[in-house]
Amino acid sequence: GHWTRITEPVGGRLSYKPPIYDINAPDLYIPFMAFGTYVVLAGLSLGLQRKFSPEALNWLFVKGLFGWFLQVSLLKVTLLSLGSGEAPLLDILAYAGYAFTGMCLAVLGRIIWRYSYYFLMPWACLCMGIFLVKTMKRVLFAEVRSYDSSKHHYLLLFIALAQFPLFTWLGNISVNWLF
């Protein structure tokens, strides 16, 4: 599909148009709503297991924020190591937060039918990995002047593969926030 952002000249430089004018521009509405839904669904899952407590909900919130921070750090460090530090932090925050959309689907699947989690979680990881690879490729090719194909491909593959442990950790709904 068409994944490129629309640019406009601003003060002699090209700048991306805001989300209201560009359908491919990341915004934080979906990530914030997905994060909130993830916390609520995880709390509901704990309640159905008779393990719910306000402290557990707090730990789920902190665990989700920490997972989001890890994802943002992974994306930012990868872009910096490839020579592209130009991507706005809020864009990277939005890209990383889209992971909670798939997490919501997997947690809801676990609530409805316990075993569906084992099909939905790998599918959500794969979708997020593909999304991040396509998005980061677009960011890299738009901003990087020197192109080292093998390094880019390996780091993009690393981003995609890193989704599996992150999703597994976030999808493990328990009272203990670490595991």
Q: What is the dihedral of CA 69, 134, 36, 103, to 10 degrees?
A: -100
Contact residues for 89 (Cβ-Cβ < 8 A; gap 6+): 72, 76
In this prediction, residues 19-38 reach a mean pLDDT of 92
Query: Which residues is 16 bridged to in the sheet?
Result: 7
Which tops the pLDDT comparison, 123 or 24? 123
In this prediction, residues 124-147 reach a mean pLDDT of 81
Query: What would the pLDDT profile of 135-144 be if each residue is shown by its tens digit?
Result: 888 877 765 5
User: Residue 18 gets which letter from DSSP?
Assistant: P
Q: How confident is the model at residue 42 (pLDDT cuts 50, 70, 90)?
A: very high
pLDDT at 87: 80
pTM, two decimals, is 0.88
Query: What would the pLDDT profile of 55-108 be if each residue is shown by its tens digit?
Result: 999 999 999 999 999 999 999 998 888 877 678 899 999 999 999 999 999 999
* Mean per-residue pLDDT over the chain, rounded: 88
Q: Where are the domains of the chain?
A: 28-57+64-171
Q: How confident is the model at residue 148 (pLDDT cuts 50, 70, 90)?
A: low
